[in-house]
Amino acid sequence: MKLVYYCSQCNDVIDRLEVDAEEITEDKLGFSILTPGEKEDIINETEDEIEIGIICDDCEAEDDLISLVNNNLIH
Ligand SMILES: [Zn+2]
């Protein structure tokens, strides 16, 4: 079973992990805190891999920059 982390903004693959399918629990992945709707948005399970959409560092930095600029414009 493969875990694939990709950026949901730029679609870059961030990380791939080979994991034991039996060892994967939603708790371990931190998914148990998500609502079912959020899980649907973030997680895409295929036959042999689980794709997880997160935000990569680049996009996060960009987001920070945008909110910084927006904040400056507002104030
Ligand atoms: Zn990205």
Q: How far is the CA of 14 from the centre of ligand 1 (A)?
A: 8
CA distance 19 to 38: 23
DSSP for 33-69, please give it. GS-HHHHHHHEEE-SSEEEEEE--HHHHHHHHHHHHH
What would the pLDDT profile of 10-23 be if each residue is shown by its tens digit?
999 999 999 887 88
CA distance 47 to 35: 23
Q: How far is the CA of 60 from the centre of ligand 1 (A)?
A: 7
Give per-residue burial for 52-62: e unless 16+ CB within 10 Å, then b. Answer: bbeebeeeeee
Question: Is residue 74 scored above 80 in pLDDT?
Answer: no
Q: How far is the CA of 40 from the centre of ligand 1 (A)?
A: 19
What would the pLDDT profile of 29-53 be if each residue is shown by its tens digit?
788 888 999 999 999 999 989 999 9
